[in-house]
Amino acid sequence: MFGLGVDTLIDPSTQSVGDGHVSFAEVNTFLEYGILIGTAVISSFGAAWLALREKSRREKIKDTHEAKFIFEDKEKNFQIYDRLMYLRIKSSADRVRICQFHNGGKFLSGTPMKKFTSTHETTSKGVSNESEKLQNCVTTVFIDKIMAIKENLPKIRLVSDLTLESKSKNFYKSTEVEKFAILPLFKNDLIMGFIEVEWNEGSEITYPENFESIFTLVRSQIEFELMKGG
């Protein structure tokens, strides 16, 4: 009584199902749409998962490279400070530093502004570190220092011999420097910075007779370290 056969559900003349009059073609269309939507959703999730996996892989490689760079940079700086300390001790100096040249924007006239910054400095016991005062220094203000760098001579110079209006002389005086020696640091044929040795007023200066040779040698070693990775 309650059983319904297939013939009752399907009207062969209309190919409809039940009382809703939904054809098999429409059912197939709905199924196809469902399959397409499902496939699209799965594909979207799959693409998102692959993108996330690729991002994770790239970040892992980046972290590895950064860690390697930090380690290499730390090792390079260790070698640089080791050479600076060697030079300072051998020459009985109070300070030895490295400054590097860099761009500093432009003047309103359009002329490029050149600057230098102290990147490494080592001092003897009880002597102040002056690196913070030598950040983003405009080169034209320290013109006598720049001229000494260009001479490329490892000789020891007297602060008192600098011109009266010299910014460099005023800075040396403010940090109690009496004598100094300075050499350019080269990258190929370009001057990328300089290395400077300072002796304070009243210090017992007992630098060796071969100071100029030692200074020149250390300069070459530091140039080699600075060239690493760039």
Residue 94 placed within a domain = yes
Residue 85 placed within a domain = yes
Residue at 131: amino acid letter: S
Residue 130 placed within a domain = yes
Residue 2 placed within a domain = no
Residue at 176: amino acid letter: E
Residue 25 placed within a domain = no
Residue 48 placed within a domain = no
Residue 146 placed within a domain = yes
Number of domains in the chain: 1
Residue 9's pLDDT band (boundaries 50, 70, 90)? very low
Give tens-digit pLDDT for 174-185. Answer: 999 999 999 999
Residue 139 placed within a domain = yes
CA–CA gap between residue 21 and residue 204 (Å, rounded): 110
Provide the residue range defining the domain that includes 217.
Answer: 67-227
Give tens-digit pLDDT for 94-113. Answer: 999 999 999 878 778 878 88
Q: What is the CATH number of the domain that holds 93?
A: 3.30.450.40
Global pTM value: 0.67
